[in-house]
Amino acid sequence: MKEITTVISHLVCGVMFWTLLEYSLHRWVFHVQLTSNSGPWLCTFHFLIHGLHHKVPFDSMRLVFPPLPGVIIAVVIYTPLSIILQNYHPRLVLSGALLGYLCYDMIHYYLHYGNPSAGHHLYHMKRYHYQHHFAHQDLGYGISSPIWDFVFKTRIHLRKLRYQIRWS
């Protein structure tokens, strides 16, 4: 029983770590405030990693994080994680983070292409994400979870609609 509790708790910690990493990357890397002094290389890099996704949000080839940069980020994250958590099952925490990443990719894709029913949690998530894309690009950085939007006060307040939206 203790082993199951250990596995589950470490996986949950990894998923929570992923949600914080997702929020942080989305807010402070993908939505970095560029200035006239940023230079053409940084502007181009920024546009390619996330700006293009906001420009054409329905391009199915730009909704999932590419595998090669994902592996590089995983290695960069796992190296210090394995040193810090050396006696606390760092591979389980990384597994939880990778599980969180996979859920994020599937949720993000569904939010762009899925047709959730009114009243369903994914319906609310889709409205929230669309508000981030089309109205409040400086808010709503959490994709798979709004937890960190609450913590960092970047939550989008959705108004109640008179009529439900039908996604098609």
Report helix angle 90-113 to 121-134, nearest 10. Answer: 80
Look at the chain and report how many structural domains it folds into: 1
**In a domain? residue 161:** no
Look at residue 85 in the predicted model and tell me its pLDDT: 81
* Phi-psi domain of 22 (left: phi exceeds 0; alpha: psi -120 through 50; beta: other): alpha
**In a domain? residue 48:** yes
Rounded-to-integer distance, Cα 71 and Cα 67, Å = 6
**In a domain? residue 160:** no
- CB of 104 closer than 8 Å to CB of 28: no
Lowest mean pLDDT among 4-8, 16-20, 69-73, 144-148: 69-73
For the entire predicted model, the pTM comes to 0.89
User: 44: part of which helix (H) or strand (E)?
Assistant: helix 40-46
**In a domain? residue 11:** yes
Chain segment 61-116, per-residue pLDDT in tens: 777 777 788 888 888 888 888 888 887 889 999 999 999 999 999 999 999 999 99
Q: Among residues 67, 53, 58, which one has the least CA distance to residue 101?
A: 67
pLDDT band, very low/low/confident/very high, at 58 (cuts 50, 70, 90)? confident
Quick check: helix, strand or coil at residue 112?
A: helix
Domain extent at residue 33: 1-152
Chain segment 107-143, per-residue pLDDT in tens: 999 999 999 998 899 999 999 999 999 999 999 999 9
**In a domain? residue 123:** yes
CA distances from 9 to 12, 14, 90, 117 (A): 5, 9, 12, 32
Look at residue 49 in the predicted model and tell me its pLDDT: 84
**In a domain? residue 163:** no
Can you read off the two tokens belonging to residue 161?
């609609």
Q: Among residues 130, 99, 135, 101, which one has the least CA distance to residue 116?
A: 130
**In a domain? residue 159:** no
* Mean pLDDT over each residue of the chain, to the nearest integer: 90
**In a domain? residue 87:** yes
